[in-house]
């Protein structure tokens, strides 16, 4: 059972890692992107945020059954990293909303 739970954590951990990459791209594109499609940058950042928070719950639901301390620590760290992803995505969204304010 514990091995199955470790395997079950792998896909959501990959989602968290990918979400971090998407938010990083959004941060890089924000200052140089075409202003007529800047809301697409927000859409990407917010989609990544949602994916990361959902994946975090999928990791957390499996942590209790994982007995391997190393694997548990690794998965816990991945789950904790979501807070920073959320913060960064929110900053992207806030920057665009501020720019669009009339």
Can you give the residue range of the structural domain that contains 46?
2-100
pLDDT tens for 6-23 read: 888 999 999 999 999 999
* Total number of domains constituting the chain: 1
**Over the chain, what HEC string results?**
CHHHHHHHHHHHHHHHHHHHHHHHHHHHHCCCCCHHHHHHHHHHHHHHHHHHHHHHHHHHHHHCCCCCHHHHHHHHHHHHCHHHHHHHHHHHHHHHHHHHCC
HSE-CB of 68 using CA atoms within 13 angstroms: 13
Instruction: Please tell me the predicted confidence (pLDDT) of residue 21.
Output: 98
In this structure, are residues 68 and 3 in contact, taking their beta carbons and an 8 Å threshold? no
Give the span between the Cα atoms of 78 and 36, in whole angstroms.
35
pLDDT tens for 35-69 read: 888 999 999 999 999 999 999 999 999 998 998 99
Residue 82's domain is classified under what CATH number?
1.20.120.680
């Amino acid at each position: 059972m514990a091995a199955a739970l470790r395997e079950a954590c792998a896909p959501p951990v990959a989602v968290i890692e990918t979400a971090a990459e998407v938010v990083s791209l959004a941060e890089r594109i924000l200052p140089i992107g075409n202003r007529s499609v800047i809301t697409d940058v927000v859409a990407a950042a917010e989609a990544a945020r949602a994916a990361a928070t959902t994946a975090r719950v999928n990791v957390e639901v499996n942590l209790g059954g994982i007995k391997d301390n190393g694997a548990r620590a690794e998965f816990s760290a991945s789950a904790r990293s979501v807070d920073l992803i959320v913060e960064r995505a929110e900053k992207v969204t806030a920057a665009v909303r501020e720019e669009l304010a009339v």
